[in-house]
Amino acid sequence: MIEIKNLSKTFNSKSSEVKALKNINLQINKGEIFGIIGLSGAGKSTLIRTINRLEEPTEGSIIIEGKDITKLDKTDLRNTRKEIGMIFQHFNLLSSRTVFQNIAFPLEINGYDKNYIEKRVNELLKVVELTDKKNAYPSQLSGGQKQRVAIARALADNPKILLCDEATSALDPKTTKAILNLLKKIQKEFNLTVVLITHQMEVIKEVCNRVAIIEAGKIIELNTVEEIFARPKTNTAKAFISHIHRSSEGEIIYPTTPGSTVIKLGYLGDSSKKPIISSLIRNFDIDINILSGDIDELQSTSVGNLLIQVMGNNEEKEKAFEWIKEQNIDLEVIWNG
Ligand code: ADP
Ligand code: MG
């Protein structure tokens, strides 16, 4: 378990003072994939970097498996760091070394013998499915392949914790998915505790058990991923999930803003040709937020489904719903708050 207590970090320079972390308290359980999400500058990197003391906290403690790592001397810190692997947005591979040599690097530093290194690196190449790229140089690899090498390198010395700092932010959506699947696989296989920071809720949704939202150096919301999606409390949480409406299990996820109603519309035949949304907004005193559905489909004749959030007083909403039904559109109320 990782326990972060009253953690603060202030960067001081001659001309300014930046309070990057303000009294952070967090408990990350053994074997979970814990997400930290926030906008750029929120303090994510500073927070994750204090966990292996790449950044020295100004105040507070970080207790890993009962040991306060802020109190360790150099030797103990070096040993503890072996238990913590890290991967980065820009992979940080050594360009003059091959894939094999990159993965071998931490093992060489930690003084393992050649035979063991050979055996271990070959094992890791299999885990990240890069055996055929063993002798390639980083410049010959795609972004996804580079991150696989970085993951293998991070796992080389059998860490218990893996820190991921925007590990998929430089990758396209398809490669992101593949890397996230790999993270899930290795988490299970090696029973890792994974701390993952990102600015993308899609990433959190895909792999995390719990998530903390960080804003201006403070944790403003913390919960299971399901709970955050179902009942986001802060506006920041709402904004992060506003464009994602399905969980990985395929359930519909929708915002539960008090006073709003979420409805599902089913278009059939001719009704899909009509400009339903603009008519609704024009003819009724309601606001509409399109949650999901294919906008192209709205303008075509094909059958379509649309999830929308309707805001307004009940009377106006009722009138609007009646009108929708008159247009031969299926209407299902998903949520009413
Ligand atoms: P994030 O990773 O969420 O984008 P960071 O943790 O990198 O945010 O930065 C948080 C705040 O701390 C920002 O205002 C940033 O400018 C500042 N900061 C980060 N590192 C340093 C540093 N080494 N010196 C001074 N300020 C820093
Ligand atoms: Mg960062």
Q: pLDDT of 261-308, one tens digit each?
A: 999 887 655 555 567 888 888 899 999 887 776 543 333 334 456 788
Closest ligand 1 atom number to CA of residue 9: 12
Contact between residue 110 and residue 188 where contact means Cβ atoms under 8 Å apart: no
CB of 45 closer than 6 A to ligand 1?
A: yes
Delimiting residues of CATH 3.30.70.260 domain(s) in the chain? 242-336
The fold for domain 242-336 equals Alpha-Beta Plaits (3.30.70)
- CA 197 – CA 336 distance, rounded (Å): 33
List, for residues 69-81, the tens digit of each pLDDT value.
999 999 999 999 9
Which ligand is nearest to the Cα of residue 165, counting in written order? Answer: 2
CB of 43 closer than 6 A to ligand 1?
A: yes
List, for residues 47-61, the tens digit of each pLDDT value.
999 999 999 999 999
Angle at 184 between CA 126 and CA 173, to 5 degrees: 95
Which residue has the least CA distance to atom 12 on ligand 1?
Answer: 20
Report the 10 Å Cβ neighbour count for 256: 16
Locate 297 and state its tokens.
């489909």
- CA 314 – CA 305 distance, rounded (Å): 23
Band of pLDDT at residue 1, cut at 50, 70 and 90 = very high
CB of 147 closer than 6 A to ligand 1?
A: no
Q: Is 273 helix (H, G, I), strand (E, B) or coil?
A: helix
Query: Ligand 1 centre from 177 Cα, in Å?
Result: 27
Instruction: Give me the mean pLDDT over the 152-165 stretch.
Output: 97
Closest ligand 1 atom number to CA of residue 39: 3
The yes/no answer on whether domain 2-225 falls in CATH 1.10.3210.10 is no
Delimiting residues of CATH 3.40.50.300 domain(s) in the chain? 2-225
